[in-house]
Amino acid sequence: MRAMQVTAYDQPLSEQELEMPVPAAGEVLIKVETCGLNFGDLLMIKGTYQQKPDLPFTLGMELAGSVAAVGEGVTDLAVGQRIAAYSGLLGLAEYAAIPANVCVPIPDDMPSEHAAAFLVAYGTSHVALDYKARLRPGERLLVLGASGGVGLTAVELGKLMGAEVIACARGAAKLEICRAAGADHLIDSETDDIREVVKSLGGADVVYDPIGGDQFKAALRACNPEARILPLGFASGEVPQIPANILLVKNIDVLGFFWGGYKNFKPQVLTDSFKVLIDWYSSSKIKPHVSHVLPLDQANEALDLLRSYYAIPENQRRRLFDLARVLSEAA
């Protein structure tokens, strides 16, 4: 079978012909129809992701397809059944043998390109807001980096969950995207004082932060008592140092959150979330944003499109990759 592999760091993927995998006990063999690509895939190619698999490895964190075979002990999935899964790896191949407990059945009316573009972006935000932060209807949610991939889904899901949503992004065009996703209030991170605007709106009960740096500091000081802050990443290139005295005085919780980690120690958190999200999809409450669909042998072109989407300046990109390396080594 064909697979697109990382054979050397910071180099284009190499198309390889591999033996057909055989599902072990507790695994299923998936005929892969679609694989979604994410920013984390770019970090894996660099060798700077939080998890660093041994070379060579098949890239692709999230996939959709159908069950081609089941391993010993698998009783809740059947050959021919359509599924989606956060596999962490193996998605950019014609077949993948993955644990059955990370697979979720998908409805017949859900195209595979929607299913494979669905899991990381929506799953990250849903688990963060629902499972970790326990976001309640009527609470005020501040989303930093709100026009990015996960930020935009946080805006969308926060509104769907009944929150009053404040979206913070850079520039009028990006803020209009946030407004269309359901944001109640908009903050321009280039020109507005985040702390003052949020406080004028009544303060934040939950902060969703993939940015870090100065935006985290401003958001912290705009939190209400018993607020919950979710640091998801550090796109600014700066890991904020958190003053514990503010946490103490306001009884604020800072909730460390690495969504992909649940696959290894508590996969049911992910699969339970996927089931809720798929129900919302079937009810037309949410719909993933798919920009391009390319064949397997054009995976490198797809990754180039992903790089251009993020369009991170080179000096900031180096800081981000260096930071990711530090986090990987610390883990």
One fold for 2-117+290-330 and 122-260: no
DSSP β-bridge partners for residue 223 = 204
**CB 75: neighbour CB atoms within 10 A?**
7
Domain residue ranges in the chain: 2-117+290-330, 122-260
- Non-local CB neighbours of 234 within 8 Å, separated by 6+ positions: 210, 211, 212, 213, 320, 323
**Strand pairing category for 14-17 and 82-86:** unpaired
Per-position pLDDT tens, the chain of length 331: 999 999 999 999 999 999 999 999 999 999 999 999 988 899 899 998 878 899 999 999 999 999 999 999 999 999 999 999 999 999 999 999 999 999 999 999 899 999 998 888 899 999 999 999 999 999 999 999 998 878 999 999 999 999 999 999 999 999 999 999 999 999 999 999 999 999 999 999 999 999 989 999 999 999 999 999 999 887 777 788 888 988 989 999 999 998 888 888 899 999 999 999 999 999 999 988 788 899 999 999 999 988 886 655 544 544 444 444 444 444 4
Considering the segment(s) 122-260 as one domain, its CATH architecture is 3-Layer(aba) Sandwich (3.40)
pLDDT for residue 312: 52
The Cβ-side half-sphere exposure at 320, using a 13 Å CA radius, reads 21
**Whole-angstrom distance, CA of residue 104 vs CA of residue 107:** 10
Q: Which CATH superfamily is domain 2-117+290-330 in?
A: Medium-chain alcohol dehydrogenases, catalytic domain (3.90.180.10)
Question: What pTM was computed for the model?
Answer: 0.84
Strand order in the sheet with 14-17: 14-17, 2-6, 57-58
**Cβ distance 206 to 130 under 8 Å?**
no
